[in-house]
């Protein structure tokens, strides 16, 4: 019996999880799973979820396992995805934060956010892009992690601003984004349902002076009509009809 589980564990990264339904599909039924826990091969993390005995699964390892074994589409986004691509403008102090996203119909189980990981979990549901546009596979330690492209990740930061991210700090990141893809940005802007996100993105891109802005067709993007008040005490930008923080408007 040990040979069966050993063959599976030999092919499983130690930072991963093992889901009961997936193990059953590999020929290890629930009774055998319980026996493997008792014999020291597996440890139960929560009902129907195991880890390799003695291992310390990582948050990203858990996301990879969750997606691959259960056919889900949780992705790493916002600043977490930007960090993986090298778009950090400062070194975060303390425990790193993992920003996770799913659509509103596919919520993560509560144990994901309730488990102590190597990162602090910040989890959001959103459907502002209407699907998987801008999601990419990132190869990390020989596993495939679903993450937002830099283009989508930045828009996710804007979606969570200013409650979770300072707009000035976010603009610092925009200044580094000199090689974004106009075609993907165009697609995201046309599909994005958040007027705030679209206006802020275009304002920041133009303020940063990026050449890829010239590849966008703004006439195809619905920017709405009414004024959006992003900051209670800020400056009004007439072109995009947004009130933004003074510190951002005055930054040069």
Q: What is the pLDDT of residues 25-50, one digit of tens each?
A: 999 999 999 999 999 999 999 999 99
Does 146 lie in the same domain as 81? yes
Q: Are residues 174 and 225 in the same domain?
A: yes
Q: What beta strand segments (E) does 1-154 contain?
A: 18-19, 42-46, 49-52, 75-76, 97-102, 120-125, 135-140, 143-148
Q: Is residue 7 domain-shared with residue 66, that is, in the same domain?
A: no
Are 8 and 123 part of one and the same domain? Answer: no
Render the burial of 116-127: b for 16+ CB within 10 Å, e for the rest.
ebebebbeeeee
Q: Give yes or no for a cis peptide into 162 (omega within 30° of 0).
A: yes
35 and 128 inside one domain? no
The verdict on 200 and 156 lying in the same domain is yes
Phi-psi map region of 56: left, alpha, beta (phi>0 left; psi -120 to 50 alpha) = beta
- Shared domain check, 92 and 206: yes
Are 71 and 168 in a shared domain? yes
Q: Which of 52, 72, 92 is the last residue of a domain?
A: 52
**CA-based nearest residue to 194, from 124, 126, 107:** 126
Q: Are residues 128 and 34 in the same domain?
A: no
Give me the domain span that covers residue 30.
Answer: 2-52
Tell how strand 97-102 and strand 120-125 pair up.
Answer: parallel
Reduced 3-state DSSP string for 112-154:
HHHCCCCCEEEEEECCCCCCCCCEEEEEECCEEEEEECHHHHH
- Examine the domain organization and report whether 74 and 8 are in the same domain: no
Looking at 52, 69, 92, the residue that finishes a domain is: 52
Distance, in Å, from the CA atom of 193 to the CA atom of 56, rounded to the nearest integer, reads 39
Both 66 and 36 in one domain: the answer is no
Q: What is the pLDDT of residues 129-179, one digit of tens each?
A: 999 999 999 998 889 999 999 999 999 999 999 999 999 999 999 999 999
93: confidence class by pLDDT, cuts 50, 70, 90:
confident
Tell me: do 16 and 137 sit in the same domain. no
When divided into structural domains, the chain yields a total of: 2
pLDDT in tens, 173-205: 999 999 999 999 999 999 999 999 999 999 999
């Amino acid at each position: 019996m040990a040979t069966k589980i050993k063959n599976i564990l030999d092919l499983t990264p130690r930072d991963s999880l093992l889901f009961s339904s997936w193990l059953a599909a590999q020929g290890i039924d629930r009774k055998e799973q319980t026996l493997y826990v008792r014999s020291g091969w597996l440890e139960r993390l929560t009902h129907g979820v195991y880890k390799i005995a003695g291992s310390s699964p990582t948050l990203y390892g858990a996301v990879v396992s969750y997606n691959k074994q259960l056919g889900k589409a949780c992705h790493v986004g916002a600043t977490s995805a930007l960090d993986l691509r090298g778009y950090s403008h400062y070194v975060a102090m303390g425990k790193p934060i993992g920003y996770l996203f799913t659509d509103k119909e596919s919520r993560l189980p509560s144990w994901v956010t309730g488990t102590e990981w190597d990162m602090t979990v910040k989890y959001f549901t959103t459907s502002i892009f209407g699907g998987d546009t801008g999601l990419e596979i990132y190869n990390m330690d020989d596993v495939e992690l679903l993450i937002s492209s830099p283009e989508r990740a930045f828009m996710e930061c804007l979606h969570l601003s200013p409650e979770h991210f300072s707009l000035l700090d976010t603009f610092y990141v925009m200044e580094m984004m000199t090689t974004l893809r106009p075609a993907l940005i165009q697609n995201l802007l046309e599909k994005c349902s958040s007027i705030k996100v679209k206006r802020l993105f275009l304002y920041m891109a133009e303020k940063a002076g990026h050449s890829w802005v010239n590849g966008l067709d703004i006439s195809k993007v619905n920017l709405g009509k009414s004024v959006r008040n992003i900051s209670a005490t800020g400056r009004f930008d007439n072109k995009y009809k947004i009130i933004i923080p003074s510190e951002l408007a005055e930054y040069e």
